[in-house]
Structure 1
Amino acid sequence: MNKRYLTIAGLFFLALLFLNFTFLSNLFIKGAQIDLTEDKLYTMSDGTKKIIASPDEHIYFNFYFSDKNTKNNPYIRSYALRVKEMLEKYAALSNGKIRLKVIDPEPYSEEEDSAVNLGIKPVPVNEELNIYLGLVAANAVDQIEVIDFFSPARESFLEYDISRLINKLANAKTKTLGIISYIPIYGQYNYKTGGYENSYLIFDLLRSQFNIKLLNTKMDKVPAGIDSLLIIHPKNLPQNTLYAIDQYVLNGGRALVMLDPFAEIEVAVAGNTLQDRMSDKSSNLSPLLENWGLEMPKEQVLADNNLAFPVGVSYQKRPISHPSALQFVDDAFNMDDLATNGIKKMRLFHSGYLKPVKNHSTELIPLIQGTDESGTLPLERIKYTVNPNELRSVIEPANGRLTAAYRITGTAKSAFPDKHSSEHIAKSKSPINVIVTADVDMLHDLIWTQPQESGGFMPVAENGNFILNTLEYLTGNTELISIRNRGKFTRPFTLLNEMRKDADKKNYKTVSELVTKLRKIEADILAIQEQKKSRTDMALTPDQENTLKNAQREQKLVTQKLRAVRHQLNRDIEKLGTWTKIINIGLIPLLIAILGLLAAIIRVKTKKRGQ
């Protein structure tokens, strides 16, 4: 038979084989994949798999995504595809319990009305166009949970957010929070009404989310059924209570511990302001804290001129920035941790700082940190100094960032090694989960809210969100807590970013001088033009004309220099970017082609030798 026909027949057979393989793979091994990403972005956590298997009834996912309205927005479309793939994976692993429906809420449609009514957040693209990217989930008893918008900023928590939603629908029972507090955040209990009065706003928020159980400071064991502890400003707790907390944590219990070297909100001596201020208003959790790997230095307050916010002082009406009244923003927070992810602003007052003890066995994760210029102030200076400006020059530099909050995890041993009862837990069987802050004043309404004339409070910081986020996470089930945060799907060009930072540092002074000079010239030109307007004949004198022309000429020269410097800033970066594209687009395929050609040549030569 003609070799040509044999070749054509062979190619046709291979094509047919390929099509059959594709059809059968889609039919029998749909969804199979190999995850080669560094952070295993496409591999479900074991905790998620258990949560997916937990519902007894069906859960219905309605994924609202503006497909048509994002045709020209590749960034959102790319992330939406990630979300859709993730939801499809949840449905595939649920054995039919999770049912997914994708809805495109087009403008002025019933689907758009439904999305808005159910709580999906419209994100405006322009005056006439909104896009939607959210999820409405419901269980068999019509309980609804909503993710109003899948923000790319939370992409590393995508799996956690979806699993948390399923967990809420599958386990609708309200969690119980046990509170040990030396600060009366709950106000006063009214026996007539059966409720609390004059409570802190944060306590009201906690009551709306959890079953609250106020615990006695003297107890031999943490009561059964407590999903998490909130320990506020503990002062000289008795040994039996410390032991109860120690055993609770080692046995898998979670806790948020709030300490303070000087809690302004504690009333140590009622009716005498001066004596109250001079009293010991500190708290501690020794020896538990040190046993978990941390210590809070005594008589030391965290100070940072870069974070200072204004507070009222007694001798004048105008508020003055206080170096220990700190407003933490942006990169002060650990965005890779669920407690602080998404938090943009918090206010702390006379906070202490936490630091690792030597030879600790636990893993310590900073959550809230000061700037590189943070330092400390002696507590005595805080107590006796009236004018906050006097404190700025006496801050003791820390030569690095000081930390106001930590997460503690890993293996821990009991702080009571001499206990030998049969029920005694000497070492944690699984990683402990404790969050510690060095400030208690953050709980007070006036630190993070402003009273409104119409009544109520307006938040000016996210202290409340931090407390709720932390406790919601800590009261989650074991599977939910085990879900790790993901790496980012979008990977930055690290070398390019470093080059850009270096270039900015090298040229900052030049650019700053040119910008200052340009602003001065613009001000001079404006002044001359104002002089022209003030004259009745709207004309300039010859001297003013010359001055204006010279200023405009100088303005053009400075602008050109500034443009040239900025152009130089990007030249090396663009060059590296060009070479990166050449390597990715041209060189790698060329290498593959060369290897293929070499393989073909070797094959032909081998065949000839065989003949």
Structure 2
Amino acid sequence: SGIDVIALASAGHISLANQSPLKMTPLLVSSPGAGLIDAKKVQGFRNPKKLLREFQPQQKQFTLAGRMTGSVKTAFPKGVPSPGKDRDGKLIKLSAWDRPILPNSKAPLDIIVVADADILADRFWVIMRDFAGQRVPVPTANNGDFILNCIEALAGSSSLMELRGRGSASRPFKVLQDIQKKASQQFEDKERGLRQTLSKTEKKLQQLRRRNPQSSAKVVSERDRREMEKMQREILGFRSELRKVRHSLTQDYQRLEMQLWFLNITLVPLLLIVFSLGLSVIRIIKRKNHSFETASG
């Protein structure tokens, strides 16, 4: 309940076999334009362009997570299978199975299957933010809410599901996002200009060094030596300026973020307290005036 966004990395899909006794209730489904890709193609070295060329969308929705219910039969009706051999060819030893094999489940099966092992990997649905000098995790998707809802559903308790995950837990300030976007654009423009100038200066310095391979010897002209020293100072200055620009952007953003947090968390409650105290004082004054008028009358 209240699930808005689920972030999945490389999801598979779930389907029931023909004549399966189970009933599947889809919990997460893909868009109608999704398609299937062989898992071997995305293992190891990945070529996104090649995958995109070979991708063929299918006009159907795939189940990414589902709840399975129903009675099941054992996959080993003849008993515990032989353990087999290990990589060295030796028989694997297992402790004796002293419990009877159940041909059918005693109670109906009730499980939830998610076709993505990375659904709780932090890098896909959590970002770390600096707040009051501490690193605080901020959810950007409802993966955690989804898992908690699944646990509560399997535990038979749904009373708290309506209270969790109403919208994403990440509620960024729109004004702060706009300011950060503008500041990032200005930083990128300035950084691009500095990097271009830095690249040109480094190329000129390399040309001078190639022209004077023995730059430490006295054969280098005084003019070229001064030019190289000047370029080296400029390169150091450009790099220092880049660091200052990055640091300034981070400081401005964090300062504004802290101010907004203060206004939102501290200032508003303080104003409410002041308003409540003022209202109480006014009521006390009115009571005293009323008592004085009654006594005079």
Where on the TM-score scale, by shorter chain, does this alignment land: which range? 0.3 to 0.5
TM-score (norm 1): 0.24
With structure 2 as the length reference, what TM-score do the two structures score? 0.44
Report 1 or 2 for greater relative contact order, CA contacts < 8 Å, sequence distance ≥ 6. Answer: 2
Structure with the higher fraction of residues in helix conformation: 2
Largest Rg, 1 or 2: 2
